[in-house]
Amino acid sequence: MITDPLHDQPTFADIEDAAQRIRGITVHTPLLRYDVLDKAVGAPVWIKPETLQRTGSFKMRGAWNRISRIPDADKPKGVVAFSSGNHAQGVAEAARILGLKSTIVMPADAPRAKIESTKMRGAEVRLYDRVNESREAIAAELVAATGATTVRPFDDAWIIAGQGTAGLEAAQDATAQGVTFGSLICNASGGGLLAGVAVAFATLSPRTEVYVSEPAGHDDLIRSLAEKKIVSNAPGIR
Separation of alpha carbons 108 and 106, rounded Å: 6
pLDDT for the residue 238? 52
Residues 6+ apart with CB under 8 A from 92: 102, 104, 118, 121, 122, 123
Q: Which domains does the chain have, with CATH numbers?
A: 12-53+156-226 (3.40.50.1100), 59-150 (3.40.50.1100)
Q: DSSP per residue over 66-101, as a string?
A: HHTTS-GGGGGG-EEEE-SSHHHHHHHHHHHHHT--
Separation of alpha carbons 172 and 2, rounded Å: 23
Low-confidence stretches of the chain (pLDDT beneath 50):
none
Residues 6+ apart with CB under 8 A from 55: 86, 89, 90, 93, 117, 121
pLDDT digits (tens, 9 = 90+) for 187-227: 988 889 999 999 999 999 999 999 999 888 888 888 888 88
pLDDT for the residue 39? 96
Within the chain, residue ranges assigned H as helices are 12-22, 35-41, 59-67, 86-98, 112-120, 135-146, 157-176, 192-204, 220-227
Pair type for strands 46-47 and 32-33: antiparallel
pTM of the model: 0.93
DSSP 209: E
Separation of alpha carbons 25 and 43, rounded Å: 34
pLDDT for the residue 17? 98
Report the candidate in 44, 63, 45 with the shortest Cα–Cα distance to residue 53. 63
pLDDT for the residue 236? 58
pLDDT for the residue 118? 98
Continuous segment of H or E residues that includes residue 212:
strand 209-213
pLDDT for the residue 220? 82
pLDDT for the residue 230? 83
Separation of alpha carbons 77 and 153, rounded Å: 19
pLDDT for the residue 59? 98
